[in-house]
Every structure is written in C-alpha cells, then in structure tokens.
Amino acid sequence: MAQRARGRDRGKGGRGQDGWRMRAAKTSSPPPTPGRPITHVGSGSNSKAESNVMGSSTKAASKWVITEKPIWNIKENISCDEDNSQKEEVSNFTKYEKLNEFVKTLTSLSESHVDDLNVALSKRGYIAPGLIFQNKIKYAGNISLHSPVSSSPLRARALSFSLIELSIIGRMASGAAGRATLGLTKPAAIEVPQVSFSAKEIDFAEWKGDLLAIAVSESDMSKDEDLKFLNSILKRLDGQLNGLLSDASIEEDFKGKNGQSIILRLPGFGFRRLGLVGLSQSATSVAATHRDIGEAIAAVAKAAQASSAAIILASTNGISEEFKLTAASAISIGIVLGLHEDNRYKSESKKPYLKSVDIIGLGFGPELDNKLKYSNAVSSGIIFARELVNSPANVLTPAVLAEEASKVASVYNDVFTAKVLDVEQCMELKMGSYLGVAAASSNPPHFIHLCYRPPSGDVKTKLAIVGKGLTFDSGGYNIKTGPACSIDLMKFDMGGSAAAFGAAKVHFIVAACENMISGTGMRPGDIVTASNGKTIEVNNTDAEGRLTLADALVYACDQGVEKIVDLATLTGACIVALGSSIAGIFTPSDELAKEITAAALLTGEKFWRLPLEDSYWESMKSSVADMVNSGGRQGGAILAALFLKQFVNEKVQWMHIDVAGPVWNDKKRTATGFGVSTLVEWVLKNSS
C-alpha cells in the first residue's frame, strides 16, 4: 500500500543515494554515506522544511560536509562558536536498516531500546532527520523524499519528539519511543489480588476468622412446619445462633436466589461475620456454577472488609468426587476475579482486604493444593487478558502489545522466545493483506510470534493460537458511525490476542496494528494480496480483522503446526446469533470441536458450534480478485469463517472462535478475559 502511494507522487528533485531524491538541503553535495558522520556547518540557512508536528517548523541543513572520523567518536565532531552554542550533526538515511545500524553504533543502546527508537523514527521505511546535539539527541522536523519513479515530494512526517531528549551515552527514557504519549497517560502496574487458598476438612463451626461464607441454593433454604431449616448445615448453624439465621432470612427475604446475599455480625463467635450467598441453578456446568459462587463471595468479603474467609457449600449433592477438584478450582478463580478491579487509570484506588481463603468440605491433599496453585496462575492470565483489552488505544499501541509479549518471553526465558516482525520483514513475507489494514496508522504494525517450548524438549503436539490484534478499529473509510457502532469500545478489538497471550503456551501469533484513516490508508475497492498469493478485493474496510488474520493463519501453517485455534472479535452477526455470553465456534474438524467443548466443560465458558456452509461462499466471490472481504448481511459470522478457511492448509486442523460477544461485559463496562481458561485446558490436554 505504501508503494502504491509513492508511485502516485509527481514533482521535481535531484536523485540521491539508493535511487531516492532529496530536497532537504540547498546543496549539490551528495547525501550522507551510511556509516560515516555528517557535519552540518554554517548556521545561516534560509531553507525551511515545513513541519506538521505541533505546528512548528524546522530549518533544514544548508550544506553537507562528510567527515572521516569514525561514527563512534561522533561527539568529537561537535563544536561551539559565538553564534551557535550547539552545532548540529545531521544524519539522514532513507533506509530503515541503515538507520538501525547507525543508531546501534552511535548510542550503544540496548537491542530493545534500538527497536523502540527505530519505531519512533520510521514511517513505513522512511525517517525524520535526527538532529544530534552535544550529549543529547533530539528528533523533530520533516524531510522531503522523492521516489525514483516520480518527482514530487513525499512527506515523511516527523513524530512528536520535539519534547523528548534522549541521552547519547545510552540512557533512554523508559519505553518513551515505543509508547504512545497522547494524553500523557501512564497506567499503574497490573496488580493481581494475592490470595492464599487452602483446602480443609474441618468442622466449619470451629473455624476462626473474619468471614464464614455459606453458598446456598433455593432448595437449601427450605423449612419445615416449625420454620426450621431442613438442610443439615443450616439447621445446625441456626441452632447455635438461637434461630437468628432463620429470622434474618425471613426479614431480608433471602431465598437463596442467584445474586442474593446477607451478612450477619456475630460477636462472641470464632468467625466475626456470617454470610449467606445464593448460587445459580441455571449454570450449564459445575465450573460455571462455582465460579459464580466465588465471585459472589468476593463481593461479600469486600463489603465486610474481611481479610480471611472460609467457604462451605450448604449441599454438595450432585457434585461427584471427580468434579470436586473442578468446583474448588472454579471457586478460587471466581474469588480472585471478583476481587480484581482495574484501577490502573484511576488517580485513587483501593486494594482488596482479603488475603486468605479456606475451602471446606471439597477434600484436601496435595492434588487439590496443586489444583489451587494452578487456578491462581489461570486467574493471573485472565486478569492479564482483561487489562490488555481494557487499555485505551492511546496507551496500548501495536508496539506496546509487542512489548508485553516480549516481557512474557523475558520473564520465562527458559521456555519462551519472542519474535516481533517489523514492516520490512512483513513485506519480505508478502503479508499484503495485513499491511493493507495497517497502512493508514502512524503507529507501525508489529507482527508478534511468541513461542513456548517445553523445558524437556519433548514436543508431543504442535499447536498454534492466533489472536486478532487490532488495538483500535475506526472502521477505516467505511468508518463506524451511529449510536450503535460502539467506536468508543473498539479498543477491545484485540480481545483475541489478549486471550492468546493470557493462555501463553505453544505458538502464539498476533498481527497487531490499527485500522485508521489517512491518505496512505486502504480504500474500498483496493485489492490486496495475502502471503499465500490469494487476492482480496476490499469492499469493506471495516471488515479488517479477517484481513490481518489471513496472513497470520498462513504464517501459523508455515510453522509446521498440527492444530490451530484462532480467536477474534470478528462479527456483530455472531452477537446477534448467540448473544453476549456465548462464543461461536467454526471448524471442519469434529475432533477439534470435541476437544474445545471438553475443555469448556471444565472452565464454565460457553461455546456453540455453528456451521461452515460452503454454499454461502458464492456471495464472497469477486469479479476482479479471488474473493471479496465481506459478503451480504445474512450469515455474516459464517461468511467470515469461510473467508478465514481460505488461508489454512487443509492438512492442519483448524478452528475459528468468534468472541465478539463474551469478550466484553456491557453491564460492568469492562473486559472479561474470556477464552483464556479454556485455551489453557485445551493446551494441557494436548500436552498430557
């Protein structure tokens, strides 16, 4: 897309090195030679390069002087005189890779900082001039470049770095070049509630602590003619309280319905408060029921400001020994998620009081203890996914999403490696579909590949999880408009990638970018070419997620994987079909469908398999390309899945999961972390 834009330019200018023309300076001298320092002499230049950054303008160099001093001694070339206290060293390379080599040598920055600096300076392969001052580097201004096949200037817009100074001796503001600065917003660190869980088989009446919580159903609240509880646990407890529990339930009209709760203060007892929590009887699985219990108990603990709690089920009827592990695990996950609040962007926040929880009556021993530790890890992954999705687009740019993936690889470097492909590398892989979507944004795309390898080296099954990674989706030229477009929530268009990183095992692939509008952007009617050679007529720029996934799926297949699951907030049609709490799954593989369904049964997340109706593909055919990227209004979720199918090797088992509904909780206006726990279970099952 960038090449197409260059080809349209017309104008004049002298030819510079590598076939490019320059008009940044009034001189007949050649442009700088890579690897050699350039000294700008003479401060009386009248030549100006217009700046579209913050309304400022910057003087261009009037003469180039090539010096013979080695690049690493460039500070020695800086001198001062009476007229100009700091003479500039101007470096102007038009090739991204040459800038990369230059900056590495010049500043001796770390690899990650060099990458950040390159991201800041690059504009699809072009750079703004670096104005190098004594002991500091400052980036600002414009340069006019000319294509060898045309003659009018193509502005390489300088980024807003006139306010950012970087030390030449290697000190760099933390992430400044790679992080978005719009609004000057910096999130606080992610804080996962730290709760210690233990499983016990003790008499609940003997437990001592802040809060004893009992989960009850409507049937548990049944009473006899004398208004005595029929349930043995409630009957015993009510007897110890001289009927207080029965009286309170009547006064508060507590019937054990889902969402109901009461708290009683009990001075003189080992537990200072007693809480009754109604549990859902409509949940589809043991895991879903008990995760709801955990979240309800977390709410009661918050209200009571309890630092310690114990949980007991009034009735364990219907829970087999096999599922007690699942029930205990789900309760612990529900408690952590119920306690968690995303306060990173609030000026004031409260930390949860709850620090320890005893789960009574669901067994005990090493197996259950290990399960609870596992649940804590899953909770952390879900919260990580939630906070990625919650992050606004001015903070979570494609570069920052790539940085988060790299952090995972850095922390767990014994099993993880991270590879992040830049624009040039994606061009080499011919990812035209993905790059077409990214073309309009000033935030460059980052193609992220996070790879897990078991420490033993014994790889049983090669899996890939591919997540849609649109950090913001404006809709492009088919811009999102109207009250129902939810453009303010389009930060969650990377919910699929968040689930992938939250699961963090095997190959995780995310084509991260933004879908924006600009003169370099993809337009309706454009034809893009995916990395498998198939051509796509873009009849709707707001059907962009499938374009990025197309190249990501091809890349995943090229890794030699046996199974691929992709997750994407892909269609509103899936929400219309299944509502806001159920994800749609599409796959030609019955085996893979059974695996995901079995995993979901253990996590309580809801999925429903929808058909891949091949006859619908007729509406996706183009008269000028292999296909269009958007069909008719009917069966939109199916058409999107059929589109993705065109980019998957037939030998690979593949599933597409449309998470547009359950990735976001409209009532709470927050992300859910949907998909993480199911993906983890699926990966573990394939590795066992």
* 22 three-class SS: strand
One-character DSSP codes across 477-511: TS---STTS-GGGGGGGGHHHHHHHHH-SSEEEEE
Burial class (CB in 10 A: 0-12, 13-18, 19+), 201: exposed
Nearest residue to 34 (alpha-carbon basis) of 105, 98, 97, 123: 98
Beta bridge partners of 584: 608, 658
Helix (H) or strand (E) holding 46: none
Q: Which of 413, 434, 421, 501 is nearest to 465 (CA)?
A: 501
User: 669 in the Ramachandran plot: left (φ > 0), alpha (ψ -120 to 50) or beta?
Assistant: left
Of the residues 15, 104, 272, 480, only one is catalytic, namely: 480
DSSP 426-456: HHHTT-HHHHHHHTT-SS--EEEEEEE--TT
Q: Measured between alpha carbons, how far is 339 from 277 in angstroms, rounded to an integer?
A: 16
What is the rounded distance in angstroms from the CA atom of residue 115 to the CA atom of residue 464? 26
E runs forming strands in 118-159: 122-123, 126-127, 130-133, 136-139, 143-146, 154-156
On the CB side of 621, how many CA atoms lie within 13 Å of its CA?
A: 6
Residue 80: CB atoms within 10 Å: 10
The answer to whether residue 69 is catalytic is: no
Amino acid making up residue 474: S
- Nearest Cα neighbor of 676 from 556, 507, 498, 553 is 498
Q: Which amino acid is at 644?
A: L
Question: Hey, what are 98's tokens?
Answer: 């040459």
What's the rounded Cα separation, in Å, for the pair 587 and 643?
12
Burial of 62 from C-beta contacts in 10 A (0-12 / 13-18 / 19+): middle
Query: 448 forms bridges with which residues in the sheet?
Result: 420, 510
Listed in order, strand segments (DSSP E) in 520-661 are: 527-529, 535-537, 563-568, 583-586, 607-609, 627-628, 653-658
Single out the residue of 477, 333, 451, 448 nearest to residue 388, CA to CA: 448
With a CB cutoff of 8 Å and minimum separation 6, the contacts of 140 are 51, 53, 56, 58, 128, 131, 158, 161, 162
For the record, the structure tokens of 426 come out as 């994606």
Number of other CB atoms surrounding residue 322 within 10 Å: 8
Active site residue 235: no
Burial class (CB in 10 A: 0-12, 13-18, 19+), 3: exposed
For residue 65, give Cα distances in angstroms to 36, 101, 226, 441: 11, 21, 102, 35
Name the catalytic one among 505, 546, 606, 645: 546
Rounded CA-CA distance 526/625 in Å is 10
Residue positions annotated with a catalytic role = 480, 546
